Structure 1
Amino acid sequence: MFDEVDDALKRLLEEEMDIDSSEIDIRFEQPKREWSARLNRPTVNLFLYDVRENVKRRTQSPAWLETGGGGNSITQTHQPIWMDLHYMITAWTKDPQDEHRLLSNVIMAFLRHPYLPENVQEGELAENPMEKPIKVAQYDALQNMDKLWAAMDNEYHATVDCTLSLALDPFEEITTPVVKTIDVSTGQSFTPGSGLFEDQGDSLRSWSVAGTVHSGESLEDIRLILLERGQYIPIDPAGRFFITNLREGEYTLDVLVEGRAAEQHILTVPSDDYDIEV
C-alpha cells in the first residue's frame, strides 16, 4: 500500500502545482551523491526515510469493536493501527532560487490539503475508508539531518518533512454466534480438572444468560429490574444485558421506561432467546 501512497502524493503535486512531467520530475529516490549527480532536469524528490507506529493514536481498550452481525451472530473488527510515513522532500535544480520556488510550491500544495484527497487515491488505498492526515514542515521532524546527509554521502540540502498517517488493519473480521446461555455447574469431583462432578442433582447448577433490549426509545431511558432479587440489571450502549447465577425456572423482569407504565417480561431459564421488545 505504501507504493500507492507514493502514487497518490505524486498525483496531488502534479495537480496542485500544474507540473508538466516533461519538464519537472517527481521522484521517490534516496538522494545519494551519485543519484543527484545524474539529474538533468528540475526534480522534486520525496524520500521515504522513516515508517513507524503513531502511538498517540493507539487505542488500548477495547482492542476489538463489536457490531451486530444480525440475528444470532456478532461481528468483531480490530481497531486500526496508525502508521506515520515520513518523507524527506528536496528540490533539485541548477539555480538555488528555482529550488526555493519548487519547495515553497510543494509546501503550499500540502498545506491546502490537510487530508489526502480521495480523487488521487487508487487501489487498496482508495478502499481504506479512514482519512489520511498530512502534516508538512513540522518543527519536531527531521532531527539530526547532518548525520542523514553524511550517511548518503551528499551535501546538505534544504529539506522539508512531510508526514502522512495511514490506518492499517491487518486483521480479518471475526463473526461468531451470540452466546445467550452459559450452564455453570459446581461441586466435588473424583478427578479434579476433568470437569466431571459427583452426581448432586441440580442443587448446585446455575445459569448465566444474555439478551438484548430492542426499543425505539433511547436506551438511556430504560431500566431493567429482576423482581425475584430486587436487582438492577445494567444495559450496555448496544442494548445488551447479562444476568448470572440463575437457577432453572421462570423469572420476572420489570422494564421501566421513562414516561410510560412499567412492563413485565418473563424469562424462562434455560431458553433459546432472552431478547426483550419494548
Structure 2
Amino acid sequence: MFHLVDKALKELVTGILEKAEFSPSQIDVDFKAPAENTAPQACKIMVGLYLYDVREDLTRRTSGTIRSADPSTGKPIEHDPPRYARLSYMATTWANSPLEEHEVLAALHTEASKTTLLPVNFPPEITALDRQAHLTVATPTTEDRVLTELWSALGTPLRPFLSFTVTTPLLSFTRLTPAPTPRKVRLTAQAEPKPKPPAIGRPADRAVLGGALATVSGTAEQDATVQVRLDGHDLGHAVRASDRSWSLSLESPAGAGEHKLTAEQRTRDDGPWSAEASCSVTVLGKPVITPPKDPNQWSGTLSGTVTPDTYLTVEIRSGHPSPDGALLGSQAPSTDGAWTVTVPKENLTPGTRYVLYACQMGEDAQWAVSDPVTVTVQRENPDPLVTLTRPTRVTKWQDFDVSGTGVFGQGTVTVENKVDHHPGWASITEELEVDSENKWAGRARGIQKGKRTLRAVQTINGNDTYSEELEIEVKA
C-alpha cells in the first residue's frame, strides 16, 4: 500500500515543478535517505522524499461493521472498519545553489498546501469504501528531538526540508459475513438512443480548393434526411442518407472566396432538425501576374498576387496552363497573397519569347490559373541567336534572296512579313534548314511595294526565337 502513496507523491511533486516551469528533463525524484555526498547531476534538480516514520493513526480507529460491495462479485459484504497509517516524509531538495533549492521548496510548499487530498490509486477493496488519503504539508512536529537524532544518524549536515504527512487507509480489515441482499424492484423506460450528429466529409474542414465548390458529401444516421446550407442560405435540397452516406450537387457552384457549410438532419419526416455539423472552405481566386515593365527585355523575375492566407505554392509555367506547361519556377506566397518568382537562368533561353501562366493547385487537384503574360527574355550579349541579313534589292511581287544565321540542330527558319490584318505576320518562305556553320539561305515570295517590315523566326528548345525586325523599301 505504501508504494501507491510513493507513486502519488512523486506525481504530485513532478506536476508542481512542471507547473513552476521547470523542464521535465531537469526533475529527478527519489526516495533514498539524504546523504552528505548527495548531489544532482549537472543541470538537474533532485527532490528527495525520505519516508522516515510509519505509525498507525489511532485517532481514526473505529469499531463496528461496514457494508460494501464485493469487488469480485458485486454482492454486498460486511467487514470491520479499515485502519489508517500515518506516513511521514522528509522532502529535501538538491540543486546547483541554495537559492534554487529554496525556490523549489517554496513551489512545493505553496502548491501542495492548496489541497488536503492526495489522489492515490487504491485497490478495488479500498475504492469500494470511498476512502481517500489525506495530505498535510509543513505542519509543526512534536518530535524535534527525533528529527535531530535522525540527521545525526544520517551523518548529514542539517538542511531545510518540508514535512509531507500522508494519512492513508490500509487494506487490513477482515471480512465477516455476507450481508443480506436487499430486494429491489426498479421500473425504467428504455430511452431512445441519441442520434449521432451528421458529418461533412468532403470538402474537409479548412480545405483550399482550386476549382469551384460543386459537391458536398458526408455521413448521417441511417435513412435520415439531411439539409445543407451554404453561407447561411438554404440550398433547397434535402437528400436521404443511404448506408449512412449522403451527397449533394450544388446547382450553382460556389466561386472564389471563403465559404461556410452546415448540415443538419432529422430522423423522422415530422421530426425536428437537429445535430448540426459545419465546416469552412476556401475557393482560390484567379492568380494575378503583374506585367513586367518591359516585357521584351524580361530578366526572369515575375511577381503578382493570389488569394491571401493560402499556403499553396505558386508555379510559373510556360506554353500552357498546368499541368501541361513546362515548369520554370515556384514560390510559396506570403500571408497577404503576394508572391515573387525568379526563374533560374538555366531554365530560360535569351532572346526567346515565352507565354507564362501563374498556377496554384488546390486540395481538390484542380488548378487556379492566371491570364497569360507574354515576355521575351533579354539577351545576355549582343550576338542574337537568329539574324536576318538585309536584302540588297527587292522589287514588288518578285521573289528575292534572303539569308541569315540560326542555331544548328534546332528547328527550321522562316521569314515573315508584317501585315495589317490578323494575325499580324505572314510567312513568305518555305522552312529553311540551318547548316553546321549556323547559316541559312533561301528564296522569299514577292511582296507589295512600299516600306515593309521583315523578321526571321526559329523554334529553339521548343520556344519561338526572333531576329531583329528589318524595315526595307520594296521598289515598284
TM range (shorter): 0.5 to 0.7
Aligned equivalent of 2:150, options 142, 148, 158: 148
Q: TM-score, length-normalised on structure 1? A: 0.54
Q: Which residue of 1 aligns with 2:66?
A: 65
Question: Closer, same or farther in 2 for the Cα pair 1:177/1:138, shift >3 Å?
Answer: closer
Q: Which residue of 1 aligns with 2:103?
A: 101
Aligned equivalent of 1:47, options 47, 50, 55: 50
Question: Closer, same or farther in 2 for the Cα pair 1:141/1:163, shift >3 Å?
Answer: farther
C-alpha separation between the residues in 2 aligned to 1:97 and 1:50?
A: 28
Q: 1:213-272 CA deviation, whole Å, 9 max, x = no partner?
A: xxxxxxxxxxxxxxxxxxxxxxxxxxxxxxxxxxxxxxxxxxxxxxxxxxxxxxxxxxxx
Q: Which residue of 1 aligns with 2:373?
A: none
Contact 1:17 1:109 in 2 (8 A): no
Which residues in structure 2 correspond to 1:78-93 (within 5 Å)?
78-93=80-95
Listed as ranges, the gaps of 5+ residues in structure 2 are 183-476
Q: Which residue of 2 aligns with 1:137?
A: 138
Kindly state the Cα deviation for residue 172 of structure 1 after the two structures are TM-superposed: 3.9
Which residues in structure 2 correspond to 1:130-209 (within 5 Å)?
130-140=131-141, 143-144=144-145, 145-176=147-178
Amino acid at match of 1:122: N
Kindly state the Cα deviation for residue 101 of structure 1 after the two structures are TM-superposed: 0.6
Question: Closer, same or farther in 2 for the Cα pair 1:6/1:98, shift >3 Å?
Answer: same
Question: Closer, same or farther in 2 for the Cα pair 1:50/1:175, shift >3 Å?
Answer: same
Q: Please tell me whether residue 124 in structure 1 is matched to residue 123 in structure 2.
A: yes
Residue aligned with 2:50, SS: strand
Contact 2:126 2:171 in 1 (8 A): no
Amino acid at match of 2:47: V
Question: Closer, same or farther in 2 for the Cα pair 1:176/1:115, shift >3 Å?
Answer: closer
Kindly state the Cα deviation for residue 134 of structure 1 after the two structures are TM-superposed: 0.3
Contact 1:74 1:175 in 2 (8 A): no
Contact 1:5 1:125 in 2 (8 A): no
Residue aligned with 2:106, SS: helix
Aligned equivalent of 2:59, options 51, 56, 60: 56
Contact 1:4 1:125 in 2 (8 A): no
C-alpha separation between the residues in 2 aligned to 1:68 and 1:12?
A: 30
Q: Please tell me whether residue 20 in structure 1 is matched to residue 23 in structure 2.
A: yes
C-alpha separation between the residues in 2 aligned to 1:15 and 1:95?
A: 22
Question: Closer, same or farther in 2 for the Cα pair 1:14/1:74, shift >3 Å?
Answer: closer
Kindly state the Cα deviation for residue 94 of structure 1 after the two structures are TM-superposed: 2.8
Kindly state the Cα deviation for residue 107 of structure 1 after the two structures are TM-superposed: 0.9
Listed as ranges, the gaps of 5+ residues in structure 1 are 179-211, 213-278
Residue aligned with 2:148, SS: helix
Q: Which residue of 1 aligns with 2:34?
A: 31
Q: Which residue of 1 aligns with 2:225?
A: none
Contact 1:52 1:85 in 2 (8 A): yes
C-alpha separation between the residues in 1 aligned to 2:76 and 2:8?
A: 36
Instruction: Give the CA RMSD over aligned residues.
Output: 3.0
Residue aligned with 1:33, SS: coil
Q: Which residue of 1 aligns with 2:3?
A: 3
Residue aligned with 1:122, SS: coil
C-alpha separation between the residues in 2 aligned to 1:16 and 1:126?
A: 30
Q: Which residue of 1 aligns with 2:230?
A: none
- Which has the larger strand fraction? 2
Residue correspondences, number: 171
Kindly state the Cα deviation for residue 125 of structure 1 after the two structures are TM-superposed: 8.3
Question: Closer, same or farther in 2 for the Cα pair 1:141/1:89, shift >3 Å?
Answer: farther
- Which has the larger helix fraction? 1
Question: Closer, same or farther in 2 for the Cα pair 1:93/1:173, shift >3 Å?
Answer: same
Kindly state the Cα deviation for residue 56 of structure 1 after the two structures are TM-superposed: 1.0
